[in-house]
Homo-oligomer: A and B are copies of this chain.
Amino acid sequence: MKENLVKPRTLPGFMELSPFDQLVFNKIKNTLEETYRLYGFMPLDTPVLELSEILLAKAGGETEKQIYRFSKGDTDISMRFDLTVPLAKYVAKNYGELTFPFRRYQIGKVYRGERSQRGRFREFYQSDIDIIGDGELGLMNDAEIPSVIYNIFRKLGLDDFTIRINNRKLLNGFFAMLGLSDKAADVMRTIDKVEKIGKEKVVEELVEIGASNDAAEKIIEFISVKGTNEEMISKLKEFSDGNEAFDEGVKEIEYVSSASKALGVPEENFKIDLSIARGLDYYTGTVYETTFNRHPEIGSICSGGRYDNLAGFYTDKKLPGVGISIGLTRLFFILSDKEYLNTEGSSACDVLVIPMCEDMTYALTVTDRLRESGIKTQIYLENKKFKAKMNYANKLGVPFVIFIGEDEINSKTVTLKNFNTGEQTTDSIKLISSLIKSALPENLKPIKLD
């Protein structure tokens, strides 16, 4: 054994998938991308590294501690910790070149040096969409978001999810009605924890913040209202005492709900939920969360909302927007953990060509023809025994193998073996190609990407 070997290892908190899992991951990533494109979102791919001055213009507290920050020469550099700050920089920088409303998606790795624990990653993919307006942005855009989420999860083969929406104006208006306007941000953060800590604890904390017992109880009553979306809206109207923000919130949530319905989002996947607040300060209207019905403990897997101003740190242009973010690495981890992953069709290739004699010329031609017709084809090129060849096919998970021996070379045919049924067919390359193609599930409904 050689000395001085460096033990090969990967940093803790960094996901590194096996090739087969990576295939499944990529399929999910492609589904996101394909769906975003269907809605006219354009791709952006900003650098992983930015000037610290840019990236930390807004950050502070916990976030700042987690950032990977270093110097190279005289330059103070940080690794991006989300995709929102780079978007803000991009839009402010290229304001004159962009067409508003600007719809962009970005799927990319972000970095947070968090304490390492199960299901928490230091390098992870975020998958974001945002619609940015110049000065103003129609409320109707808020209804596009649930439609995107719905289509993504449906395409991933999941139906057991609920997109929950609320509106910050509703909440702020209600708090104002209780005389708690100046404590709105704290109240918001507290009620956001209701699923984690329970109603009693929330009442306690609200009283600590300075709400009266009566007000705290009313808040709990309010965020606990349940019903169909239609019922929710009538109940909300009953709460109104003429507060302007509240009434605008009611109008907005009614409008967004009915527009989402017109965009094909079924009621069973879309619920008004007054307990959704989103901790972040910068949301100002609609807010979204998405949860798996059978796994509330996971929390939201896709969240976002409407904000008044994207890039106030970089420009004095007012840039309102609405967007959502999916933590793709975390989502993959959860789907895998709950055995929700669709691993169908994730083999190294569709067919393995196995040459049975020394002259490979014909086998190479066959391989080329199969690839030309869009069949993922690998040719076994090693000089090994038959058993080793079949073992290889097995480990790759291929649905088909093709044998090419003297007979096939002489008759210009190929012999196809279906690995699932054991069935064997000898025919022309052309017919065998069609046979393979018709049997591949992914060929029945091709995914179209730009």
Given A49-B123, A93-B9, A450-B26, check contact A141 B103 (CB 8 Å). Answer: no
Question: Would you call A178 an interface residue if the criterion is a C-beta within 8 Å of the partner chain's C-beta atoms?
Answer: no
Question: Would you call A117 an interface residue if the criterion is a C-beta within 8 Å of the partner chain's C-beta atoms?
Answer: no
Question: Would you call A92 an interface residue if the criterion is a C-beta within 8 Å of the partner chain's C-beta atoms?
Answer: yes
Which residue from chain B places its CB closest to the CB of A25 in the assembled complex? B45
Q: Across the interface, do A450 and B314 meet the contact criterion of CB distance under 8 Å?
A: no
- Near B by CB (< 8 A), chain A positions 74-132 give 75, 77, 88-90, 92-94, 97, 99, 101, 103-104, 109, 111, 113, 123
- Near B by CB (< 8 A), chain A positions 6-44 give 6-11, 14-20, 22-23, 25-27, 30, 37-40, 42-44
Given A8-B315, A123-B49, A264-B368, check contact A39 B377 (CB 8 Å). Answer: yes
Inter-chain CA distance A446–B103, complex, in Å, is 24
Inter-chain CA distance A110–B17, complex, in Å, is 19
Inter-chain CA distance A7–B95, complex, in Å, is 13
Contact with B along A348-387 (1 / 0, CB 8 A): 1100100000001100110110011011111101110000
Inter-chain CA distance A97–B22, complex, in Å, is 14
Given A5-B315, A57-B6, A262-B360, check contact A42 B19 (CB 8 Å). Answer: yes
A62 contacts across to B, CB distance below 8 A: none
Q: Across the interface, do A314 and B8 meet the contact criterion of CB distance under 8 Å?
A: yes
Closest Cβ of chain B to A357, distance in Å, is 14
Question: Would you call A2 an interface residue if the criterion is a C-beta within 8 Å of the partner chain's C-beta atoms?
Answer: yes
Q: Across the interface, do B365 and A262 meet the contact criterion of CB distance under 8 Å?
A: yes
* From B40, B47, B376, B378, contact of A10 by CB (8 A): B47
Q: Across the interface, do B46 and A16 meet the contact criterion of CB distance under 8 Å?
A: yes
Q: Across the interface, do B11 and A376 meet the contact criterion of CB distance under 8 Å?
A: no
Question: Would you call A396 an interface residue if the criterion is a C-beta within 8 Å of the partner chain's C-beta atoms?
Answer: yes
Question: Would you call A443 an interface residue if the criterion is a C-beta within 8 Å of the partner chain's C-beta atoms?
Answer: yes
Question: Would you call A395 an interface residue if the criterion is a C-beta within 8 Å of the partner chain's C-beta atoms?
Answer: yes
Which residue from chain B places its CB closest to the CB of A141 in the assembled complex? B381
- Residues of chain A at interface, number, CB under 8 A: 115
Q: Across the interface, do A16 and B47 meet the contact criterion of CB distance under 8 Å?
A: yes
Given A8-B311, A93-B10, A99-B395, check contact A376 B75 (CB 8 Å). Answer: no
Given A19-B42, A259-B364, check contact A443 B450 (CB 8 Å). Answer: no
A20 contacts across to B, CB distance below 8 A: 42
Q: Across the interface, do B97 and A18 meet the contact criterion of CB distance under 8 Å?
A: yes
Given A345-B450, A376-B38, check contact A1 B316 (CB 8 Å). Answer: yes
Which residue from chain B places its CB closest to the CB of A125 in the assembled complex? B45
Given A382-B137, A395-B99, check contact A53 B6 (CB 8 Å). Answer: yes
Contact with B along A248-279 (1 / 0, CB 8 A): 00000000001100111000000000000000
Which residue from chain B places its CB closest to the CB of A372 in the assembled complex? B264
Which residue from chain B places its CB closest to the CB of A443 in the assembled complex? B448
Q: Across the interface, do B109 and A39 meet the contact criterion of CB distance under 8 Å?
A: no
A103 contacts across to B, CB distance below 8 A: 348, 378
Question: Would you call A406 an interface residue if the criterion is a C-beta within 8 Å of the partner chain's C-beta atoms?
Answer: no
Inter-chain CA distance A232–B376, complex, in Å, is 34
Question: Would you call A442 an interface residue if the criterion is a C-beta within 8 Å of the partner chain's C-beta atoms?
Answer: yes
Q: Across the interface, do A262 and B43 meet the contact criterion of CB distance under 8 Å?
A: no
Q: Which residues of A contact B (CB under 8 A)?
A: 1-2, 5-11, 14-20, 22-23, 25-27, 30, 37-40, 42-51, 53-54, 57, 68-73, 75, 77, 88-90, 92-94, 97, 99, 101, 103-104, 109, 111, 113, 123, 133, 136-138, 140-141, 143-144, 147, 151, 258-259, 262-264, 311-316, 345-346, 348-349, 352, 360-361, 364-365, 367-368, 371-372, 374-379, 381-383, 392, 395-396, 442-443, 446-450
Q: Considering the complex of A and B, which 8 residue pairs feature the smallest CB-CB distances, nearest first?
A: A40-B378, A70-B70, A19-B42, A40-B349, A262-B364, A8-B93, A140-B381, A14-B47
16 further A-B contacts with Cβ under 8 Å, apart from A9-B51, A39-B377, A99-B396, are A2-B316, A8-B90, A11-B75, A11-B77, A16-B47, A25-B45, A30-B450, A39-B349, A40-B376, A49-B111, A69-B70, A138-B381, A143-B364, A259-B364, A346-B450, A442-B450
Between-chain CB contacts (< 8 Å), 19 pairs: A5-B314, A6-B57, A7-B314, A10-B46, A10-B50, A16-B45, A17-B45, A19-B104, A22-B42, A22-B43, A39-B377, A40-B396, A68-B72, A69-B70, A73-B113, A137-B382, A258-B361, A262-B365, A263-B367
